[in-house]
Amino acid sequence: MPILSLLARRSLAALLVLVFLAGCTAATPPERVLAVPAPPQKYAAIVVDARTGKTLFEANSTQPRYPASLTKMMTLYLLFDALESGRVTRDTQIPVSAHAASQPPTKLRFKPGETIDVDSAIRALVVKSANDVAVAVGEYLAGSEEAFAAAMTDKARRIGMRATVFRNASGLPDDGQHTTARDMAVLGMALRKHFPQYYSYFSATDFMFRGRLVRGHNDMLGRVRGVDGIKTGYIRASGFNIVTSYNADGRQIVVVVMGADSARQRNDHAEALLQRALSPSGGRTELVFSDQGAAAAAY
């Protein structure tokens, strides 16, 4: 069944041109504007105070969306869990099967039968979002990618992700794989809470592999002081997604943006929502639905 039903699409089409955060008065001038695609559209967002659990902003945050490579956050969660329990060490060699090696890019381009150590696998997932490595990790930990996806979904329920179903370890297109912006915020907070000793991996912007420097594409790192991760994602069905965490000056905030039309639009909007959450007054975010698709954001 399609993620957005016909009824949901018609409802989206009937939305007012301007959507305001609840509690703001019409007399207050808008602080930030984001142009997002006209319905049927993929946009969803949420901002959560990670210390209190309070929702600071949300739009479509419980509506089903494709996670894309945000899926790898759960792949990493289960790998961190295996490290914590002693099932693997950072030096453990993970074999790459023919199935794993056959995954489409982005990947590290292994040949079947080659191996990767756990430490490098973590960095490959965080920095490169390598699909071949994600599948190899899943197969190693659960015997098959299908079994690993079932374990991912089970873990999601256990940590409070009530509307997420995983079908693979990578986030590559699958009609049965879906999540919500709220669930992705829950996962982002759970990774820091349950695995603080490994959370610094999410701050990596590059890593060395086989003598080659592999660069990442999470441009929020280094763009805003206090941002320390965590994951980006994109497939055509999802648009551009990101989960961003902020940890500075006694504040911990998680921002999720899903369904942007470009990486730049996604990053600009995530930064605007973060700055809004950090401002003393709280601010206001105005969403403008547009037929122009990838219209530029203005703040």
Decide if 71 is inside a domain: yes
Give the model's confidence band at 82: pLDDT under 50 very low, under 70 low, under 90 confident, else very high.
very high
Structure tokens at 210: 């086989």
- Selecting among 61, 69, 238, 245, the annotated active-site residue is 69
Does residue 299 carry a pLDDT above 60? no
* CATH code of 31's domain: 3.40.710.10
Does residue 146 carry a pLDDT above 70? yes
What pTM does this model have? 0.84
Decide if 298 is inside a domain: no
pLDDT digits (tens, 9 = 90+) for 24-54: 333 333 445 555 544 557 999 999 999 999 9
Rounded Cα distance, 178 and 154, in Å: 14
Decide if 16 is inside a domain: yes
- Give the 3-state secondary structure of residue 281: coil
Does residue 170 carry a pLDDT above 80? yes
Structure tokens at 83: 């490290």
Decide if 277 is inside a domain: yes
Kindly provide the b/e burial profile for residues 171-203, where b requires at least 16 CB atoms within 10 angstroms of the residue's own CB.
Answer: bbebeebbbbbbbbbbbbbbbbeebeebbebbb
pLDDT digits (tens, 9 = 90+) for 235-284: 999 999 999 999 999 999 999 999 999 999 999 999 999 999 998 765 55
Total domains in the fold of the chain: 1
Give the model's confidence band at 9: pLDDT under 50 very low, under 70 low, under 90 confident, else very high.
very low
Decide if 11 is inside a domain: yes
Q: For residues 296 and 229, which has the higher predicted lDDT (pLDDT)?
A: 229
Say how many Å lie between the first and final Cα of the chain, rounded.
37
Rounded Cα distance, 285 and 144, in Å: 44
Decide if 297 is inside a domain: no
Q: Residue 179: how many CA atoms within 13 Å on its side-chain side? A: 36
Decide if 55 is inside a domain: yes
- Maximum pairwise Cα distance, the chain: 64
pLDDT digits (tens, 9 = 90+) for 270-296: 999 999 999 876 555 555 554 433 332
Q: Which residues constitute the domain of residue 272?
A: 6-290
What's the gap between Cα 89 and its chain centre? 26
Does residue 217 carry a pLDDT above 90? no
Task: Name the DSSP letter for residue 78.
Answer: H
Q: For residues 295 and 143, which has the higher predicted lDDT (pLDDT)?
A: 143
Rounded Cα distance, 265 and 258, in Å: 11
Active site annotation includes 107: no
Rounded Cα distance, 246 and 227, in Å: 4
For all residues of the chain together, what is the average pLDDT? 86
Rounded Cα distance, 235 and 66, in Å: 8
Does residue 5 carry a pLDDT above 80? no
- Selecting among 42, 61, 128, 129, the annotated active-site residue is 129
pLDDT digits (tens, 9 = 90+) for 122-136: 999 999 999 999 999
Active site annotation includes 72: yes
Decide if 74 is inside a domain: yes
- Selecting among 72, 128, 155, 231, the annotated active-site residue is 72
Active site annotation includes 290: no
Model pLDDT, residue 279: 87
Kindly provide the b/e burial profile for residues 232-269, where b requires at least 16 CB atoms within 10 angstroms of the residue's own CB.
Answer: bbbbeebbbbbbbbbbeeeebbbbbbbbbbeeebbbbb
